[in-house]
Amino acid sequence: MKITAVNAYPVKEWRTFLFIEVETDEGIRGLGEAGLTGHERAMIGALDNLRELLIGEDPFRIEHLWQLMFRGGFFPAQRIVSSVIAGIDMALWDIKGKALGVPVYDLFGGRVRDKVICYPHVRGDDDEQLVADCRRAVDQGWRFVRFDLPADGERIDPGRAVRDGVSRFKAIRAEFGDDLEICMDVHTRLDPSDAVTLCRQVEQYRPYFIEDPLRSENYDSYRMLRSRTGVPIAAGEQYSSKWEFRQVVEEDLIDYARIDLAICAGLTEARKIAGWCETHYIRLAVHNPIGPVSTSACLHLNLATPNFGVQELPRRPGESLSDLIVHQPEWSDGHLLPPTRPGLGIELNHDALARYPYEPKPLGSLRRDDGSFTNW
């Protein structure tokens, strides 16, 4: 079997997506998804270069092709290139599973669990609205909820955001008791002093984790935070390789690894990071804010990974691109269930592409009250 084509399909629905399809001379096609939302045109440019390395190659040699793409340009792949590699890598595993007639999780040693628990995104402009959205989620069967550090539109005052965030935790815990798991995504919006205040004040409400309480560039800041709070910490969604995870794993600076399969060079790299995390008792909470192909890839990884915590799932299967990405996995009572179809279990319906014309859409931005820029 040989690779004959590698195609990119940018589309737009509730957000922008970039799907990558790898074709072979035996008619088997594999599907993947590249992350780094908002940079689709840059990723398509990177794909044009990587394609030259892949045409004519054996798609079963996944590790070899991963090394070729990641290291073949001399400069280590990061962000833009690693996101394209991620989409290609998912597609190669999809091809291998289809060719052998087994789900991808069987290629990883088989299932270690029967279902994968997930969390939705809940929202509200105040405590009452957020609790109401949590009630909607709980009534649907979710066992987790996750909300963002509060902001005022495109403005954020760190002190007020911390106070409002603590109030949100208190309101949710008071309404639902101890059985509901609660996560908050700070989204790297806070400086260290404010992050410490937030984490210490919400400890009493038993968060499942606080996500990205600090920016990702300075690993040492997580060492400082770790020494000042006992709250579980989740981080890693901005990392693009195992080397960027090295310090937070080796120094036990996180409790949950937010691996983004669509940025961190795909399933091949994610499995290496997962095994490394297992030696430090760090569980996976994969970052999955994008499309149904990423959701499927994350599901296969989590089904075969012992040290799993929870999977992000902002849209249940069938709620996004159901006519474009067909045979999406089944969701029931807060869990994704194992697919039985070979490969990733999904297919790209080319006839539906015209219904989702691509339009560039930049991500949002936040500013403080004095007009200075901060992380969104």
Query: What's the CATH class of domain 106-342?
Result: alpha beta
Are residues 254 and 233 in contact, defined by beta-carbon separation less than 8 angstroms?
Answer: yes
Rounded average pLDDT over 199-208: 97
Q: SS3 for 49? A: helix
Q: Is the pLDDT of residue 371 over 90?
A: no
Condensed to tens digits (0 to 9), the pLDDT of residues 140-149 reads: 999 999 999 9
Q: SS3 for 132? A: helix
Q: Is the pLDDT of residue 339 over 90?
A: yes
Q: Is the pLDDT of residue 364 over 90?
A: no
Q: Is the pLDDT of residue 244 over 90?
A: yes
Task: Return the biggest CA–CA distance within the chain.
Answer: 60
What is the pLDDT, as a whole number, of residue 74? 80
Rounded average pLDDT over 338-352: 98
What is the pLDDT, as a whole number, of residue 212? 96
Domain assignments of the chain as residue spans, ordered by start: 3-102, 106-342
Q: Treating both helix axes as pointing N-terminal to C-terminal, what angle do 62-71 and 40-54 enclose, rounded to 10 degrees?
A: 120
Q: Where are the beta strands (DSSP E) in 263-363?
A: 283-284, 311-312, 325-326, 331-332, 335-336, 347-348
What is the pLDDT, as a whole number, of residue 365? 82
Q: Is the pLDDT of residue 89 over 90?
A: yes
Closest alpha carbon to 277 in 257, 258, 262: 257
User: How far is 85 from 242, CA to CA, in rounded Å?
Assistant: 14
Which residue has tokens 């929202």?
123
Q: Is the pLDDT of residue 373 over 90?
A: no
What is the pLDDT, as a whole number, of residue 33? 98
Q: Alpha carbon 66 to chain centroid distance? A: 20
What is the pLDDT, as a whole number, of residue 72? 86
What is the pLDDT, as a whole number, of residue 301? 98
**CB-side neighbour CA atoms (13 Å) of 256:** 25
Least-confidence region, from 31-35, 58-62, 187-191, 336-340: 187-191
Higher pLDDT, 372 or 82: 82
* pLDDT band, residue 361 (cuts 50/70/90): confident
Rounded average pLDDT over 13-38: 96
Higher pLDDT, 170 or 370: 170
Q: Is the pLDDT of residue 242 over 90?
A: yes
Percent of the chain with pLDDT over 90: 91
Q: Is the pLDDT of residue 232 over 90?
A: yes
Q: List CB contacts of 257: < 8 A, sequence separation 6 or more.
A: 234, 235, 236, 245, 249, 273, 274, 277, 282, 283, 284, 285
Rounded average pLDDT over 295-305: 98
Helix or strand (DSSP H, E) at 157: none
**Mean pLDDT, rounded, of the chain:** 96
Rounded average pLDDT over 8-32: 97
What is the pLDDT, as a whole number, of residue 107? 98
Closest alpha carbon to 184 in 109, 174, 5, 170: 170
Q: What's the whole-model pTM score?
A: 0.96
Which residue has tokens 């970052």?
287
Q: List, by residue number, the catalytic residues.
A: 187, 287
Closest alpha carbon to 159 in 372, 368, 344, 376: 368
Tokens for 243?
Answer: 């080397």
Rounded average pLDDT over 294-323: 97
* pLDDT band, residue 77 (cuts 50/70/90): confident
Q: SS3 for 284? A: strand
Q: Is the pLDDT of residue 23 over 90?
A: yes
Condensed to tens digits (0 to 9), the pLDDT of residues 32-59 reads: 999 999 999 999 999 999 999 999 999 9
What is the pLDDT, as a whole number, of residue 152? 87
For domain 3-102, which architecture applies? 2-Layer Sandwich (3.30)
Percent of the chain with pLDDT over 70: 100
The end-to-end CA distance of the chain, in Å, is 44
Q: List CB contacts of 158: < 8 A, sequence separation 6 or more.
A: 189, 190, 191, 194, 368
Q: SS3 for 92? A: helix
